[in-house]
Amino acid sequence: MAGIIGYGAYVPRNRIKVEEIAKVWGADAPSYKRGLMLQEKSVPSPDQDVITMSVEATKHALARAQIDPARIGAVYVGSESHPYAVKPSGTVLAEAIGATPEVHCADFEFACKAGSEAMFVCMGLADAGSIEYGLAVGADTSQGAPSDALEYSAAAGAASFIIGRDPGVAKVIDTYAFMTDTPDFWRRSYMHYPRHAGRFTGEPAYFKHITSCANGIMEKVNMKPKDFAYVVFHQPNGKFPQRVGKMLGFTKEQIEPGWLSPTLGNTYSGSSPMGLTATLDVAKPGDMILMVSYGSGAGSDGFVFEVTGKIDEVRNVAPRTRELLDKKKYIEYGTYAKYRRKIRMGE
């Protein structure tokens, strides 16, 4: 099976606290913080988008992979906030890292699942022998409508993986996918903000798909929650991954290293992939890791990884994900509104 040869993350420097957003909309910050288990979220600067974050996360992945970028045969960027409506993010990324012109590019979109599906496809192509290396990125600069519950969580970040035919730092033991047509969250063409079906986004959407996918892949590989050192779930807020982990029989300790959302927010396509980077940062050779993404619409991709001895050689070659998370500057709502273009400007 394929493996992760190199990995890297990127987090913009700006953060806004839940209190700062709640203050503007007259909302009760403590109940949001308790209810969603969220303290703050990352905010991109005006000169940062999915493309720039993908390039920076990929530089970290390449530093760890130590491969010639020209040998990358596929560049797949998963996002629901690609900077262009029509024009690929992948070609800019491929050009910036020197993977062009003999490379296959595609942009993926599937709400918060687009990053893991880029990984899924790269693994398949590597296993099939049609590429030597594939680059899979999950990145987003998502926006929630002002005052909507999503505004407290919609954040920015990226995770990048070089996938190859060797075990690399983490061997792919198996993959699994679970999909249904579930209209829990969507954004129509030309609409600036997404819509969601309120409480419907919980039980029949996030929890059903993640538990079904996790149980499906564990059955496929004949493993139980206790057989894993770590588990990573999609993190739309701080609370959901903890709750779904408990439902499945995982402990807090298994979830903890990849649980970034309380101080990062929901990075959508970057969410569970970034959780995986933070988990690889602390994993030991031989550790088994379960990752289950979730994208509204709806579906989950599941992965079982076995960490190899190579992890100790590469983990400190690039910044660890939690180091990136610790570098921050707090901004006020006005600056946030300007950076996220929530202010109507003159012509």
Residues catalogued as catalytic: 80, 112, 234
DSSP for residue 168: B
- Kindly state whether residue 46 participates in binding another protein, applying the rule CB under 8 A: yes
The two three-digit tokens of residue 80, written as one number: 């629901």
Q: How far is the CB of 282 from another protein (least distance, A)?
A: 22
71, 94 Cβ separation under 8 angstroms: no
Strand order in the sheet with 40-43: 40-43, 14-17, 329-330
74, 148 Cβ separation under 8 angstroms: no
Q: Pick between residue 94 and residue 217 the one whose CB is nearest to another protein.
A: 94
133, 67 Cβ separation under 8 angstroms: yes
**Alpha-carbon dihedral of residues 270, 273, 279, 284, nearest 10 degrees?**
-150
Q: How far is the CB of 187 from another protein (least distance, A)?
A: 19
Q: Pick between residue 23 and residue 327 the one whose CB is nearest to another protein.
A: 327
- Distance CA(126)–CA(10), nearest Å, equals 25
- Kindly state whether residue 98 participates in binding another protein, applying the rule CB under 8 A: yes
Q: Phi and psi dihedrals of 221, rounded to 5? A: -100, 5
DSSP for residue 205: I
Contacting residue, 32, 152, 176, 339, with another protein by CB under 8 A: 339
- Kindly state whether residue 338 participates in binding another protein, applying the rule CB under 8 A: yes
Contacting residue, 4, 11, 16, 51, with another protein by CB under 8 A: 51
Helix boundaries (H) for the chain: 18-25, 29-36, 50-65, 89-97, 114-128, 208-221, 239-248, 252-255, 261-264, 271-280, 311-314, 321-326, 333-339
Contacting residue, 39, 48, 141, 175, with another protein by CB under 8 A: 48
DSSP for residue 28: -
Q: Pick between residue 91 and residue 308 the one whose CB is nearest to another protein.
A: 91
Q: Pick between residue 191 and residue 247 the one whose CB is nearest to another protein.
A: 191
- Distance CA(235)–CA(277), nearest Å, equals 14
- Kindly state whether residue 342 participates in binding another protein, applying the rule CB under 8 A: no
Interacting span for another protein (CB under 8 A) from 44-52, 70-78, 174-182, 205-213: 44-52
Interacting span for another protein (CB under 8 A) from 16-24, 53-61, 142-150, 156-164: 53-61
Restricting to residues 75-94, which ones interact with another protein according to CB under 8 A?
Answer: 83-84, 87, 92
Contacting residue, 19, 95, 132, 148, with another protein by CB under 8 A: 95
- Distance CA(165)–CA(151), nearest Å, equals 40
Contacting residue, 246, 329, 332, 334, with another protein by CB under 8 A: 329
Q: Pick between residue 45 and residue 215 the one whose CB is nearest to another protein.
A: 45
**CA nearest to 277, candidates 1, 3, 10:** 10
DSSP codes joined into one string, 256-319: GGG--HHHH-B-GGGHHHHHHHHHHTT--TT-EEEEE--BTEEEEEEEEEEE-TTHHHHTTTS-
Q: How far is the CB of 55 from another protein (least distance, A)?
A: 4
The mark string for 181-200 relative to another protein (x by CB under 8 A, - otherwise) is --------------------
- Kindly state whether residue 211 participates in binding another protein, applying the rule CB under 8 A: no
Q: How far is the CB of 87 from another protein (least distance, A)?
A: 8
Interacting span for another protein (CB under 8 A) from 15-23, 39-47, 205-213, 216-224: 39-47
Q: Pick between residue 59 and residue 239 the one whose CB is nearest to another protein.
A: 59
Restricting to residues 265-294, which ones interact with another protein according to CB under 8 A?
Answer: none
- Distance CA(248)–CA(269), nearest Å, equals 23
Binding site for another protein (CB under 8 A): 13, 45-49, 51-52, 55-56, 59, 83-84, 87, 92, 95-96, 98, 327, 329, 338-339, 341
